[in-house]
Structure 1
Amino acid sequence: MRRHHLGHPLTLALVTALAALAGAAPAHAGELPVVTPVSETPTLFGDEEGGNADADDPAIWRNAAQPGRSLVVATAKEGGLRVYDLESRQVQSLAPPQPPGAEDAPGRFNNVDLLSGLRLSTGRADVAVVSDRGNDRLRIYRIDPARTGGPLTDITDPAAPPVFSADQEEINEQRTAYGLATWQDRVTGRTYALVSRRNETRLALLELRPTATGTVGYQKVRTLDLPSSFRLPDGSQWTPCGEPDERPQVEGMVVDPANGVLYAAQEDIGIWRLRADLTGTPKLMDKVKEYGVPGTYDEETEECTPGADPGYGGSRLSADVEGLTLFQESGGDGYLFASSQGDDTFALYDRETDEGNEYEGGFRVGAANRLLDGSEECDGATVLNAPLGSRYPRGLLVVQDGHDTPAVTDGNGEEREATGFKFVDLGALMDRVDP
Structure 2
Amino acid sequence: MKALVTLLALAGIAAHAGPAAAATPPATAHDLAALPDGGWLALERQSLKLIDGAGRERASLPVRGRQLDTRVDDSGMLAVVVDANLERVQPLLVRDGRLTQLPPVPAPAFGIEAACLYRDAQRLDYVFLVGKDGQAEQWLLQADGHRQVRRLALPPHVGHCRVDDASATLFVAEEDFGLWAYNADAEGPGARQALALTAPLGTMKTSPGALALVPGGVAVLDGEAILTWHRDGKRWKMAPRQAAGKAVKALATDGRTLLAHTKAGWRAVGLVPRAAAAEPVLPIVLPRAQTEPVARAGDAADDPAIWRNPRDPAGARILGTNKKQGLLVYDIAGRQLQLLESGRLNNVDVRQDVTFGADRFDIAVATQRDENSIVLFSIDATGKVSEAARLPTTLDEIYGACLYQPRSGGLQAFVNDKDGRYLHYRLERAGGKFAATLLRTFRTASQPEGCVADDAAGTLFVGEEKRGVWVTPADAQRAAPLTMALPVGALLTADVEGMGLYRGPNASYLVVSSQGSNSYVVLDAQAPYTVRGAFRIGINVAGGIDGASETDGLEVTSADLGGPYGKGMLVVQDGYKRLPDGAQNFKYVAWADIAAALKLP
Fold match by TM threshold 0.5: yes
1:181 to 402, 411, 430: 402
Letter in 2 for 1:319: A
Query: Matches of 1:44 and 1:129 in 2, distance apart?
Result: 20
Q: 1:330 aligns to what SS in structure 2?
A: coil
Other-structure match for 2:61: none
Query: Matches of 2:357 and 2:525 in 1, distance apart?
Result: 36
Q: Note the C-alpha offset of 1:392.
A: 2.0
Other-structure match for 1:144: 380
Other-structure match for 1:302: none
State the number of aligned residues: 326
2:561 to 372, 375, 388: 388
Structure of higher RCO (CA pairs closer than 8 Å, 6+ residues apart): 1
Other-structure match for 1:31: 281
Letter in 1 for 2:347: N
Q: 2:560 aligns to what SS in structure 1?
A: coil
Q: Please show how residues 281-296 of structure 1 align to structure 2 within 5 Å.
A: 281-288=481-488
Other-structure match for 1:15: 121
Structure 1 spans left out of the alignment, 5+ residues: 1-11, 18-27, 97-106, 166-174, 228-247, 289-313, 409-415
2:532 to 357, 360, 364: 360
Q: Do the aligned partners of 1:346 and 1:363 also contact (CA within 8 Å) in 2?
A: yes
2:510 to 336, 357, 380: 336
Letter in 1 for 2:121: V
Letter in 2 for 1:326: L
Other-structure match for 2:336: 90
Q: Do the aligned partners of 1:29 and 1:345 also contact (CA within 8 Å) in 2?
A: no
Other-structure match for 2:325: 79
Shift in alpha-carbon separation, 1:80–1:30, aligned structure 2, 3 A:
farther
* 1:262 corresponds to 2:512: no
Q: Note the C-alpha offset of 1:267.
A: 0.5
* 1:374 corresponds to 2:547: yes
Other-structure match for 1:400: 573
Shift in alpha-carbon separation, 1:53–1:32, aligned structure 2, 3 A:
closer
Other-structure match for 1:204: 423
Query: Matches of 1:139 and 1:363 in 2, distance apart?
Result: 33
Shift in alpha-carbon separation, 1:273–1:29, aligned structure 2, 3 A:
farther
Q: Please show how residues 296-311 of structure 1 align to structure 2 within 5 Å.
A: none
Letter in 1 for 2:388: I
After superposition, the C-alpha distances for 1:363-387 in whole angstroms (9 at most, x for unaligned) are 1111112831111000011111121
Between structures 1 and 2, the one with greater strand share: 2
Q: Note the C-alpha offset of 1:45.
A: 5.2
Shift in alpha-carbon separation, 1:266–1:315, aligned structure 2, 3 A:
same
Q: 1:361 aligns to what SS in structure 2?
A: strand
* 1:163 corresponds to 2:393: yes
Shift in alpha-carbon separation, 1:390–1:178, aligned structure 2, 3 A:
same
Q: Note the C-alpha offset of 1:30.
A: 5.3
Q: Do the aligned partners of 1:345 and 1:363 also contact (CA within 8 Å) in 2?
A: yes
Query: Matches of 2:449 and 2:279 in 1, distance apart?
Result: 23
Query: Matches of 1:118 and 1:360 in 2, distance apart?
Result: 32
Structure 2 spans left out of the alignment, 5+ residues: 1-117, 124-277
1:422 to 543, 567, 587: 587
Q: Note the C-alpha offset of 1:192.
A: 0.3
Q: 2:349 aligns to what SS in structure 1?
A: strand
* 1:218 corresponds to 2:436: yes
After superposition, the C-alpha distances for 1:136-182 in whole angstroms (9 at most, x for unaligned) are 11111110143xxx7011111x6x3x2124xxxxxxxxx33211110
Q: Note the C-alpha offset of 1:120.
A: 4.1
Query: Matches of 2:467 and 2:551 in 1, distance apart?
Result: 17
Q: Do the aligned partners of 2:570 and 2:591 also contact (CA within 8 Å) in 1?
A: yes
Q: 1:44 aligns to what SS in structure 2?
A: coil
Q: Do the aligned partners of 1:109 and 1:130 also contact (CA within 8 Å) in 2?
A: yes
Q: Note the C-alpha offset of 1:330.
A: 3.0
In angstroms, what is the RMSD of aligned CA positions?
A: 2.2
Other-structure match for 1:305: none
Query: Matches of 2:315 and 2:490 in 1, distance apart?
Result: 40
Query: Matches of 2:378 and 2:590 in 1, distance apart?
Result: 27
Q: Do the aligned partners of 1:378 and 1:401 also contact (CA within 8 Å) in 2?
A: yes
Query: Matches of 1:110 and 1:67 in 2, distance apart?
Result: 27
Q: Note the C-alpha offset of 1:359.
A: 1.1
Q: Note the C-alpha offset of 1:93.
A: 0.4
Q: Note the C-alpha offset of 1:44.
A: 2.3
After superposition, the C-alpha distances for 1:252-302 in whole angstroms (9 at most, x for unaligned) are 1001112211111111111111111351111112222xxxxxxxxxxxxxx
Q: 1:404 aligns to what SS in structure 2?
A: coil
Q: 2:301 aligns to what SS in structure 1?
A: coil
Q: Do the aligned partners of 1:118 and 1:125 also contact (CA within 8 Å) in 2?
A: yes
Shift in alpha-carbon separation, 1:135–1:223, aligned structure 2, 3 A:
same
Query: Matches of 2:443 and 2:369 in 1, distance apart?
Result: 19
Letter in 2 for 1:152: V
Aligned-residue identity in percent: 33
Q: 1:57 aligns to what SS in structure 2?
A: strand
Query: Matches of 1:133 and 1:207 in 2, distance apart?
Result: 20
Query: Matches of 1:30 and 1:58 in 2, distance apart?
Result: 30
Q: Note the C-alpha offset of 1:114.
A: 0.8
Q: Note the C-alpha offset of 1:320.
A: 0.4
Letter in 2 for 1:218: A
Letter in 2 for 1:427: A
After superposition, the C-alpha distances for 1:35-56 in whole angstroms (9 at most, x for unaligned) are 1111111122544xxxx77111
Q: Note the C-alpha offset of 1:122.
A: 6.8
* 1:325 corresponds to 2:500: yes
After superposition, the C-alpha distances for 1:331-374 in whole angstroms (9 at most, x for unaligned) are 6x221111100110111111222xx2011111111111283111
